[in-house]
Chain A
């Protein structure tokens, strides 16, 4: 049994220490994958999350740190960690802007950094999800897995033990609520 599998089952049993350890394990892994995505992305600022958490899952299984039966649970946890990574990045970006303005590319670069990075949107969604978590945690999970984790509806359905139709309806609902907050 892989070490991640063990942490997963302990975390599911409510062991906060195991959850923290799992978080610390997954954060850098997912972070690297996200950066790789960024590196190959045609767009400078948009992170393609498609299959991101799944890719991490496959890597861990390939290195025997995770047994394939844990897929559903892993995808949910992984998406939660991914949300943290993306929010951290957005905060860092926002802080840098407040602190010293956009890094100036004048001297050393012919491509501009000037394009605005709407990290505020990401932070707004994060905040709204915190509110929503009190009302309906299931919607939050769907958004985490879909938006931050880049999972498909069928992967989410499998992970959460719901029908795909329910997942799709939850996603539509969540989008409307998030839009009402961002508007």
Chain B
């Protein structure tokens, strides 16, 4: 794009003539051009063209501001010692296209603690500040030993959004497991810490929405910490600690994150706890087998999205594991394959079902199953026939797990706080627990070890269920009302 050659060559004349002709009205302009044409046809052509352009100028041309996203402007002024939102930047942990993360401390010196200060670069939307504040308050209240605390978030005086979080020194869980050459058992035990933390957040009506190894840091004492609860992603793989910001291009980060995203998340549907359960399932898959269930060769975002939606996942039992990975898990290929072909593989499969309804109904149920696997009890995931009939019962009677729905969220800013009426959700979660207790009591009843090794029949099982449901005071009326006819009908 450049100015027309003829204009630049004749600029002195063109400039003077424009000054003159712009003062004239429509008919006078035409006359002016006629006279000019007689003197200099070349100039007349140029001027006619410019007047044509002037007539066609869109209303308000250049009267509105430049269409540029200012959040994209390089932030030259951010450096050690800069102050943002009442924090002084100490040193950068990471920088990337989406923003930067710094180690920082309060600039008023009131508290000496170090924080991880995230400075996302994002386009701003109206009303965000209000939303930020209300969600910040909920997220700040999320206090759990395995969740990195959110201290503060907002906009500083210059309009820079900031998020101050507990600074965790550690490595992402996958790196930690491999470095420590943790066995499959030890990995599952460590993973249970993660589930406990997520379960806690779900009980507070907060879903994570971006669970993946890079968001789970383990410190030198072997304690897992979840980052970015309720805060949409800023993290990426492979980098240590809270420095895990995208250093690569934007498409790569998202390709990485997509590997942990549930199908409903990709379809941009409203999310429930089931989305977190799925991401946790993929994370467990990776911790145990060394890679995510999707073909590692897919790097294209679109193709990956298709694979997730189509459920083109490898089954745990069909995933080949490299010798190096077997070594870092201190297990033979045959043993690992055997584990994956039985209960442990079934647990992963259940957590990563494409249909949210087929997944574990809650993180707690997921944890209970892993717990049962660790203590060599039968797991729910493989109890296919009674499970199937009961899951049908669940489908017919709304299973109260989809507690946390999420409101509008914000790219890499605060987000995702459940908006459901808290009281109703609490009541439902209590019912979820008793329903689960009921189911577990049936499965315990089915344990051959409790019946002198005799396999118990489905009929006996249902009879037990009926007894348990009508006799026990643990279950509320609603559950009894829905459950009893079902059990009775099945008994014939």
Contact = CB atoms under 8 A, between A and B. Distances in A.
Interface of A: 27-28, 31-42, 44-50, 85-86, 88-90, 92-93, 96, 99-111, 113, 117-119, 121-122, 124-125, 127-128, 131-132, 135-136, 143, 146-148, 150, 169, 172-173, 175-183
Contacts of A37: 70, 159
A111 B410 CA distance: 7
B308 to A, nearest CB: 11
A86 B62 CA distance: 14
A181 B65 contact: no
Contact of B1 (A85, A108, A110, A124): A124
B408 A110 contact: yes
Main secondary structure of the interface of B (DSSP, over half): loop
Contacts of A183: 53
B159 A35 contact: yes
Given A35-B71, A103-B97, A150 B254 contact: no
B158 interface: yes
B98 A103 contact: yes
B72 interface: yes
A93 B11 contact: no
A45 B69 contact: yes
B68 A150 contact: no
Given A38-B70, A39-B124, A45-B123, A107 B15 contact: no
Contact of B68 (A31, A101, A122, A131): A122
Main secondary structure of the interface of A (DSSP, over half): helix
Contacts of B49: 180
A146 to B, nearest CB: 8
Contacts of A90: 66, 68, 72
Given A35-B73, A183-B53, 9 more contacts: A32-B158, A34-B70, A37-B70, A96-B250, A103-B98, A107-B254, A146-B62, A175-B54, A180-B7
A101 B251 contact: yes
Contacts of A86: 66, 68, 70, 73
A103 B71 CA distance: 13
Contacts of A181: 1-3
Given A108-B209, A150-B65, A127 B2 contact: yes
Q: Which of B54, B70, B75, B123 has the most CB of A within 10 A?
A: B70
Given A104-B250, A169-B19, A177 B3 contact: yes
B155 A180 contact: no
Nearest to B54: A176
A134 B98 CA distance: 38
Given A39-B155, A96-B97, A173-B22, A104 B408 contact: no
Contact of A122 (B57, B67, B261, B410): B67
B424 interface: no
Interface of B: 1-4, 7-8, 11, 15, 18-19, 22-23, 49-50, 53-54, 56-57, 61-62, 64-77, 97-98, 123-126, 128-129, 155, 158-160, 209-210, 232-233, 248-252, 254, 257-258, 261, 265-266, 268, 301, 408-412, 415
Contacts of B158: 32-33, 35-36
B53 A128 contact: no
Contacts of B248: 100
Pairs of residues from A and B, 8 with the lowest C-beta to C-beta distance, nearest first: A108-B232, A100-B249, A89-B73, A28-B77, A32-B158, A36-B159, A39-B159, A109-B411
Contacts of B98: 103
A1 B433 CA distance: 72
16 contacts: A39-B159, A46-B66, A47-B65, A47-B66, A100-B97, A100-B249, A104-B251, A104-B301, A107-B232, A107-B257, A117-B68, A131-B2, A131-B8, A169-B22, A175-B54, A179-B57
A182 B1 contact: yes
A85 B71 CA distance: 11
B250 A119 contact: no
Given A101-B250, A180-B7, A181-B1, A31 B233 contact: no
Given A39-B159, A106-B254, A108-B232, A34 B73 contact: yes
Contacts of B56: 179
Contacts of B2: 127-128, 131, 181
A131 B62 CA distance: 18
Nearest to B8: A135
A176 B126 CA distance: 34
B79 to A, nearest CB: 10
B72 A96 contact: yes
B18 A176 contact: yes
Nearest to B129: A39
A153 B67 CA distance: 21
Contact of A107 (B73, B125, B265): B265
